[in-house]
Amino acid sequence: MKSKSRHSGLTVLLLSLVAMLPAGARAQGWTFDDSTSAWERFALGFASSLAAHEAGHFIVAKSKGYEVSHDGLSITYPGTNFTRAGQLQLASAGFQTQWVLSEFALRDKNGHEHTAPPSDFEAGVVCSYIGVSAAYLTFLKNQYNGDVYGMSRATGYSHDRTALMVAIPAVLDAWRLFGDDVPAWVPDLSVMSKGIAAAWIWSY
């Protein structure tokens, strides 16, 4: 219980602090520079975010004492009898990790929203998160033991509703990354939606 409260408090505190930072609108969105070095930086960011997504599941599983294995590219937890809260927290851990990473990628070193487009590496990090969210909104939402499947099973919500909830901050972050003259309320709403979701997940 103390560990659960600690996770919830730290996540909500981090995202709340970020939400209170100034968030000026960006005048120009990120565009891809079609060069070899740009592709490499983008691919590295994309792959790093995917790895972090999986690491999020692994870290939460280990912190709860679950056995971790794999089936192909999927992480499995053989012999685990999940509580509803435990399954929700574990299934959503990858998304939560990418929520935090996207905030780092879309903000400067002072924690302010970028007023210039982010780097190709940072764009890769955000695009990876957007891509994962899009995949779970469409062809992965009914995948057995996938993230949305696990969250839906834990909460009793439909796969469609769960996938839509996950997609909302991803849509806002896509606007932050690609949009021109992005209103200042967009990053605020994005980080607020992530903070509310994290608080709900860890207090479930």
Report pLDDT for 82.
Answer: 93
CA distance 4 to 69: 23
Percentage of the chain beyond pLDDT 70 is: 87
Return the top range by mean pLDDT from 75-79, 114-118, 193-197. 193-197
Q: What DSSP line would sit under 145-198, residue for residue? A: TSHHHHHHHHH---HHHHHHHHHHHHHHHHHHHH-SS--THHHHHHHHHHHHHH
Q: Please determine, for residue 1, whether its predicted confidence score (pLDDT) is greater than 90.
A: no
Q: Please determine, for residue 16, whether its predicted confidence score (pLDDT) is greater than 70.
A: no
Q: Please determine, for residue 12, whether its predicted confidence score (pLDDT) is greater than 80.
A: no
pLDDT tens for each residue of 129-177: 999 999 999 999 999 889 999 999 999 999 999 999 999 999 999 999 9
What's the whole-model pTM score? 0.86
Report pLDDT for 50.
Answer: 97
Q: How confident is the model at residue 17 (pLDDT cuts 50, 70, 90)?
A: low
Q: Please determine, for residue 10, whether its predicted confidence score (pLDDT) is greater than 70.
A: no
Q: What mean pLDDT, rounded, does the chain reach? A: 89
What's the burial of 138, exposed, middle or buried (CB within 10 Å: 0-12/13-18/19+)? exposed
